[in-house]
Each structure stands twice: as C-alpha cells, then as structure tokens.
Chain A
C-alpha cells in the first residue's frame, strides 16, 4: 500500500470550479445526436401541420428536442429522462429568447440600409418633406439635437449620480440606505412621468415654450439612477486600505476622495456616465412633452423645440407614408448604432478599469 497526497501551494484557497457537473464527451455526443434527430423530426412535423416556415420549424423543434433528449436517456431511468428533458427545454428556451433580439437588430439594419445614403447623416429636413424620395433629406439635425440634449443631461446627472455614490460609499452617512433606496426607486419612474413633470415645472412655469434644456432635464431624471448605481459599484471596488493609508498620512476626507479615490476609478466613472447616456439616448416619451421635434437644427437651447433621433423616428412614423416610414427605419439604424457604440465604449473602459485592480 502506498499513499501520497501532496498538493502545491496548498494553504492558498483553491479556485473552485463553478459547478460540480462534468460535460463529458458522451453527454455532448448525446446532445448533438438528439439535436439532429429532433431537427429532422421537426422538419417532418412542419410538413404535415399548419406550422410554416423557419418559425414553424422552430416551434416544432421546441417540442421535439426536449422529447428526443428524454428518449435518448431512457435507459438511465426516469430521473435522467427528466434531467435531459429540462436540458432540452433550457437550451431551446434560451435560443427562442434570442430570436426576437436578433430579429430586431437584423430588421433595423436591413430596412435602415434601404433608406440610407451618405447625405442622410449630413442634411436636415428643412427643405424636404418626409415623403420626398429617399436620396434627399436626412437626420443631421436630429443627431446634433440628441447629442446636445444628452450632453446637457449628463452635465446635471453625472455629478449628482457620482455625489450620491460618494455619499453611500465614502461618507457612509446615516441616510445611506435611504438614499440608495430612493435612487433605485427613481429608476422606476416612468419616462412619460419625468417628461410630464418637467413640462409642468419648466415649460409651463418658466419658459412657456418647448426647449432643449427642458428635454435634457427630463433625461437627467432618468439618467441619474443608472449613473449612481454604476458609480456606487465602482467605488466599492476601491479597497479601504487605500483610504486608510491616505488618511493616515494626514489627508482630509476631501483630499482622499478627490486626489486618491476618484482618480483610481476614473475609467469606471466614465463607464457610469456612458451607461447613463446609453440609457437615455433613445428615450422618446419625455422629449415629446419637452423638446418636441423640429425640422432643422435649433441653435437656441432655451427657446423653441429641438429635434432628436427618437422624436424624428416618432414623427416620421406618424406621417405614415412609405418613404417616411423608410426614413424612420434608417433613423432607427442610426440610433441603434449610436447606442451600441456607447455600450462598446462603456465596456472598453470598464474592462480597463477591472484590469487595473
């Protein structure tokens, strides 16, 4: 008899595997086999029933795949059959969840490209009617309007969001729980209510006219919770040792926060801001009540309506002719691209931030 049990670096905690289950070659082979059989069966079923097209095949698949998975496990008993059936349901279920989103992106891009020409990004709608041919007019005014209003919203919401996060994480005041709770509750304010509120306060009481600042304020209300929550998560990553060592050297809390804590998480704060922007860049309802839509770029942010991509889409849809709806799709593609770019930026900064810790 012979026994050794030697481990290297044994006192260091192990990187635990996430799950105890093993995907062996055999289980993967079984799944692939079941998938193939189920696919063929589903095609046959789609032939003999009213289920038509790729979607009809997929619906049939949603039944055949879990069933075949279960049948393949027949020899291993009823528990194994139930397990395999659930595996089939989970795989099919997740795939079916992805279908609409793939469809949204694919439809917006393919329909958007039909109405798209280079000038679409550089001209406005001042001299064109929504129903004009698709090689005239564009969304330059809406792009600029969206950027201006989102920028103005950021000027308000980003500092306030970061302040809320600083209060919760750095100051740890008595009201930290309350502030966090109400900031989270604020994220549930319906966007139309934010618009109605700004309309009731700013537009009716002060400016008496639709304007871009009102639109930006409505967006700021919706943006604040996203910034606050992301900033809070980022601030929590900073180790207390860093704060303690700064204060041990005699630094005040102000200096610790602004010279030590915030600089180390700069990229994380940028992520927070960008996610906030992505959250509101596509908001339509609040802008309909505050900055409305106008056919050309408005240089005065305090006076008169200002276009934005979402309200451009909305008003083009409202016109309802073939060409105006095509314009709406093209503008949707522009808006979706803008949001995806913002998201990628946020991820890039977030990734860099994580690496530095």
Chain B
C-alpha cells in the first residue's frame, strides 16, 4: 500500500522531476525554501496539475498517467487539500465551505450538513459558527475550517500546504496539538510541506529536506 509519484511536471519552460513514495499510515513531511516546488508537488497529487510524463498511483490505482491517458479529476480522487493561504470561499458561510466538497461529490444536502457538523466539532469549532461568514473568523479558526473542509471528505490522502502560516502566535499551540491528534488518527497518507523545519518535525514521522 503506497502512494507513488514518479515523473515530470512541466509548466511552460520549467519542469520538476519528482520521485516520491509514501507508505500508508506514514506522515511525510517535506521542508524546503519557497519556490522549491513544494506546492507544485501537492497540486500534482490533488489533480490541479497534470504530469507530463510518469505516473501517480495510490493503493495501486492509477490517478494520472499521460502515456496511458489515465486521468482522474480531483473530484474522483480520494484526496483532501488544505491550501496554502487556505483559499476559503469568501462569499460563503463556514457550513457552506466545509460541506462544499461533499456537495460537489453529489452527497445530499442534509447528509453533507450532518457530516460537516460532526467534523466541525472534531476540529474544535463551535457548531454556532456554522452560519457565520468565513471572513469574520480569526486566523486560527479559518485554519480549522480549512482542515475540516479537507477531512470531511474522509480522504485516503491528506495534503497540508504550510498549515501554520497566517496563524497568530497564541492559537498556534492549540492548532499544532489538534493537527498532531488528527494526523495520529488518520489511517491514510499524509503529505505535509512547510518552509519551517520545527513545524514539520513535531508532526511528521519522516522528514525530507529539499533545496
């Protein structure tokens, strides 16, 4: 049971060569400076960027392989993403944000709401927040919404892109503990990238430095 990503990503005249294998249950941390291609790597797994050659497979299922014309859209991949700078939908409430992925997968409104409510509680968000606009929240709360939005999909792969940026100092500790808990319970693959080595080392089971 592995997540395997071997191949090349091209964007214009630039390219990244990637060779990555993550075992199931592992929390894989990647540390590197900005611009080293960390986000590109996560976006490739999530399906926002296609491989130009090579293969991405999870548990033996091929998600992306240009030579065999295999391509799963993000909606068909069992994958949750917490984006760098979060990218919450500004015109939506907390509830609409968290249930967005479920609704996009065709899950009925009431079931999506139920699952999102449960998830809100497990990431430490009060249920009374559900009808608030996400722009009214603090940095730490927004981070929890983003985390809930990814976890509520019950994904096989969890991708965390700089999960501690934009969080104020006093909610940082709580968030770090939460993330530790979440990751410890998580049975699939976690890939976590950051430019800050200490952030990564407290959570991940294996850390890699890239230039």
The answer to whether A20 has its CB under 8 Å from any CB of chain B is yes
Q: Is the CB of A3 within 8 A of B208?
A: yes
Evaluate contact between A16 and B35: CB separation under 8 angstroms.
Answer: no
Q: Pick the contact of B18: A5, A16, A77 (CB < 8 A).
A: A5
**Do the beta carbons of A79 and B19 come within 8 Å of each other?**
no
Q: How far is the CB of B113 from chain A (nearest CB, A)?
A: 17
Question: B19 to A3, Cβ gap below 8 A?
Answer: yes
Minimum Cβ distance to chain A for residue B50 (Å): 5
Question: Is the pair A5, B14 in contact by a Cβ cutoff of 8 Å?
Answer: no
Contact call A79/B105, Cβ cutoff below 8 A: yes
Q: Is the CB of B210 within 8 A of A5?
A: yes
Is there a chain B Cβ closer than 8 Å to A12's Cβ? yes
Given A2-B19, A4-B18, A16-B11, A10-B69 contact (CB < 8 Å): no
- B36: A residues at CB distance < 8 A: 5, 7, 10
Q: How far is the CA of A30 from the CA of B60 in the complex (A)?
A: 26
Q: How many residues of A contact B (CB 8 A)?
A: 24
Contacts A2-B19, A3-B19, A79-B106 given; does A15 touch B11 at CB 8 Å: yes
**Residues on B with beta carbons closer than 8 Å to the beta carbon of A16:** 11
Tell me whether A97 is interfacial, beta carbon within 8 Å.
Answer: no
Given known A-B contacts A10-B36, A17-B11, A78-B106, A22 and B71 have beta carbons under 8 A apart: yes
- For A9, the closest partner residue in chain B by CB is B14
In the complex, A236→B73 CA distance in Å? Answer: 41
Q: Are B104 and A79 in contact (CB under 8 A)?
A: yes
CB distance from B111 to the nearest CB of A (A): 14
Given known pairs A5-B41, A22-B71, A24-B69, the reply for A15 and B12 (CB within 8 Å) is: yes
Q: Check: B137 CB closer than 8 A to any chain A CB.
A: no
Any chain A CB within 8 A of the CB of B15? yes
Chain B positions within 8 Å of A8 at CB level: 14-15
Residue on B with the closest CB to A29?
B69
Q: Is B132 an interface residue (CB 8 A)?
A: no
Chain A residues near B41: list those with CB within 8 A. Answer: 5
Q: Among residues 10 to 55 in chain B, which have CB atoms less than 8 Å away from a CB atom of chain A?
A: 11-21, 30, 32, 35-38, 40-41, 48-50
Q: Chain A contact residues: over half helix, strand or loop, or mixed?
A: loop
B208 A11 Cβ-Cβ under 8 A: no
Give the residue among A6, A25, A78 with the most B Cβ atoms within 10 A: A6
Chain A residues in 8 Å Cβ range of B174:
none
Say yes or no: is A48 at the interface (Cβ < 8 Å to chain B): no
The main secondary structure of chain B at its interface with chain A is mixed
Contact A4 B17 (CB under 8 A): yes
CB-nearest residue of chain B relative to A23? Answer: B71
Q: Would you call A26 an interface residue if the criterion is a C-beta within 8 Å of the partner chain's C-beta atoms? A: yes
Docked-complex contact A5 and B106, CB < 8 angstroms: no
Q: Which chain B residues in 123-181 approach chain A with CB under 8 Å? A: none
Cβ of B90 within 8 Å of any chain A Cβ, yes or no, is no
B residues within 8 A CB of A2?
A: 19, 21
Question: What is the distance, in angstroms, from B208's C-beta to the closest C-beta of chain A?
Answer: 6
Determine the chain B residues whose CB is within 8 A of the CB of A79 once the complex forms.
75, 104-106
Query: Are B17 and A6 in touch, CB under 8 angstroms?
Result: yes
Q: Give the residue of B13, B16, B69 whose beta carbon is less than 8 angstroms from that of A5.
A: B16
- Tell me, yes or no, whether A99 is within 8 Å of chain B by CB: no
Number of B residues contacting the other chain (C-beta, 8 Å)? Answer: 32
- A104 contacts B by Cβ under 8 Å: no
- Assembly CA distance A78 to B109 (angstroms): 14
A174 at interface by CB-CB < 8 Å: no
A5, A15, A78: the one within 8 Å of B37 (CB): A5
Whether A185 sits at the interface, judged by CB under 8 Å, is no
A4 touches B14 (CB 8 A): no
Report if A14-B48 is in contact (Cβ < 8 Å); known contacts: A2-B19, A3-B19, A79-B106. Answer: no
Residues of chain B in range 47-91 having any CB-CB distance to chain A below 8 Å: 48-50, 69, 71, 73, 75
Docked Cα-Cα span, A3 to B3, in Å, equals: 13
Contact with B along A205-232 (1 / 0, CB 8 A): 0000000000000000000000000000
Partner of A7, one of B14, B21, B104: B14
In B166-201, which residues have CB < 8 Å from any A CB? none
Q: Check if A10 sits within 8 Å of B15, measured CB to CB.
A: no
The digit string for A31-53, where 1 denotes a CB below 8 A from any CB of B, is: 00000000000000000000000
B interface residues with partner A (beta carbon < 8 Å):
11-21, 30, 32, 35-38, 40-41, 48-50, 69, 71, 73, 75, 104-106, 208, 210-211
Residues of A near any B CB (own CB < 8 A): 1-12, 14-17, 20, 22, 24-26, 77-79
- 25 example contacts (A-B, Cβ-Cβ < 8 A) are as follows A2-B21, A4-B17, A4-B19, A5-B16, A5-B18, A5-B20, A5-B37, A5-B38, A5-B210, A6-B17, A7-B15, A7-B37, A8-B15, A9-B13, A10-B14, A10-B36, A11-B35, A14-B11, A14-B12, A15-B12, A15-B13, A17-B49, A20-B48, A24-B69, A26-B69
